[in-house]
Structure 1
Amino acid sequence: MHVCAMSRRNITGLTWSVFSRLVGANRLGRRRHDLSRGLCTQEPLDLKELFMRHLTTRIKANGPLTVAEYMKEVLINPVTLIGIWCVYEWQQMGKPDKLQIVELGPGRGTLAADMMRVFSQFQEFNKAVTLHLVEVSPKMIQLQSQALTGSTTPDDTVAEYQSQKTKFGPDVHWHRFLDQVPKERSCFIAHEFFDVLPIYKFQKKDGEWNEVMVDIQEGGGLRFIMSRGPTTNAKAFLTHMTDSDERDHVEVSPESGNLVQKMSQRISDHGGRAMIIDYGHDGTKTDTFRGFKDHKLYDPLQNPGSADLTADVDFAYLKHCCGDKVKTFGPVTQNNFLNGMGIGVRLQVLLKNADDKTRKALLESVKRLMHPQEMGDAFKFLAIAPKDVDYVPPGFTPMTAHTEQKS
């Protein structure tokens, strides 16, 4: 990114945080899938048993799966694994009678509905959970309601209700802010949420952190400028930076840090877990702010409001904001998480008896999900747990990356 010095005209610029709030659009793509209902778990199960129980219950309810459906279940639907991860962690908590599933930024409700379908396979767990969605848009609440209940809520009543019964059994509650969610044991899920929250950008010059801002360009349009010295924001938001950090350009999202602090405090006080899944890095990248339009990179300053704005999540910053009252695990890559959840073992089973066409399709699916140059390294997973957790949650044990399976 090219940044010019602060204009001598001293025109007031916009911080990136303000600019992204003004023109950014929330970009939340979701996975899709179908499952079915009802089975009770009496004793703690390992991941293999949980997954097999999920599959057999679906087959009993809906009949045999096609090979394509089976592949989607065991390989190319990470949401299924996220749902099973929640069930497993609930077992490790001692199977409490009540657990809130809290999703931040639930988009159209597709992820929430997919997870609830998984939960419905485990009757004991399904009876324990309630779903809480943190959402500010009435239009999105309407879409979420349709995905979760199967009914359409009229536009003139969408703002009036706060809870409904889902078609999967548990109730769903809507909240405008995290602070409105009851302070009880919760499993927080944030999937492609933090990467669209506003950021502040800073660039180092002559040993000092100056702020990158948005200004008017001569002749029309917008341009980047840099403050002539540290701003109040630089002094307030860069306190986590250490001397060992060699970056000369950083992006900070105080709003993200505040939310992570609140989740961590709740987990410390009331128990539970959190899983954050997003594009990001572990405190190593610099300038990641960008626009997307029609699935292509787009100048974020061109035609404000016409493109989605995003920045990679700084997971090192989020971990710093968690504090010392909880444990954090990761971030690990999607490759690492899926391997830890057993995708490699299931792939070997499928390949053993697959014909050439199916084998090729399987390997291509795994490559797309796992290869570092595809989705394998782009997505990161971070888990938060109480301080007294004495094990590494599934998927978060560091392991050698899987890239391609030989045919």
Structure 2
Amino acid sequence: MSGSISRRDVIQAGAAVTITAAMVSGLAERAVAGPAIIPFSVSVPETALRDLMRRLAAVRWPEAETEKGWSQGVPLHQLQRLVDYWRTSYDWRRFESQINAFSQFRTEIDGLSIHFLHVRSRHENALPIVLTHGWPGSVIEFLKVIGPLTDPTAHDGRAEDAFHVIVPSMPGYGFSDKPSAPGWNIERIARAWTELVYRLGYVRWVAQGGDLGAFVTNTLALQKPSGLIAIHLNLALAIPSPLPTEGATLAEREAITAMARHGTDGSGYFQEQATRPQTIGYSLADSPVGLAAWIYEKFQAWTDNTGAPESALTRDEMLNDITLYWLTNTAASAARLYRENNGHGPNQGVVAFPVGISIFPREIVRVPRSWADKVYPNIIHWNELNKGGHFAAFEQPAIFTQELRDCFRGVRRT
């Protein structure tokens, strides 16, 4: 189909590379054998970009909303302005240069080729960290924090705060393969991340996640793979069921209200993707404007903005993410993860593991400490921030970076 890109089109593979184990926190060096790790760079065919422009120019718009604001979804004039910029001014090639400045690879794990960024710090005792994105995000969420995490001395930090950074694209997202059968659920992804870490030669590591990435990271803590020493979440999975009805604190009442609002007014996307991802997938795969509206609305609803998402993220940043979904045709495969995860509530049970939690003010639900303590009995870091939303690393990279430095500082040599 015109405009659809195969992995063969976008992979520029060189010879397989060998990644040796590093000295990590005084542990002996060891090498881990496994399938080839292939260098990767992004290079989208010009025909795909021309097809996108053709579709944007041929859009058929609906009439304007009948209520002011965002209550019925993205206002017509807002989306028209975004799409006009996409068609006339946005530069995908600039983004290609940006992401290709980082070391990227693909490797087969459990039958799927997984795309990931892997950037090693120049500091000898850097701590390996796996950063996991969610929906409608991607590895793009973390591009602004890779430099500060790997090279803290160049970004207001200390050498002892350095990380080796691993940022995988989840199965069905971005440049990772799409599952062709059911079964790629949160537990399986967590096991794949463990295999990826071992394959890279790391023996002592930490993990971080938000949104669906929080589910993966939380599951890693429940699985307790060898070498994982702590996790950090910017979405705490600690919502009691049933919700308390009496004696709630102010923070608990605010969380209960947010849960109710999300359930009645903000979860339409969730219900569709968790039950009928294939049906919504046809529209999202066929119409770039429909895809843009589907994602742009979440950037407005979930970021710490002043009414328009552009006050939290630039148009280019949002369009980088939207265009990535379009060019890889992954809207349907990404949505299927909601169906795979359907049945995992916002509480996976007690996590008896070192956990750091950062609560950003415009998170969908700000989990109160009283709820978190019941699920996470070993909280090593807790902070409630005054800026930022659901896409923490994307919106507030400096704050996010400092949260990770502070969270893991105490476990680096324990």
Normalising by structure 1, report the TM-score: 0.22
The structure carrying a bigger helix percent of its residues is 2
The structure carrying a bigger strand percent of its residues is 1
Larger radius of gyration: 1
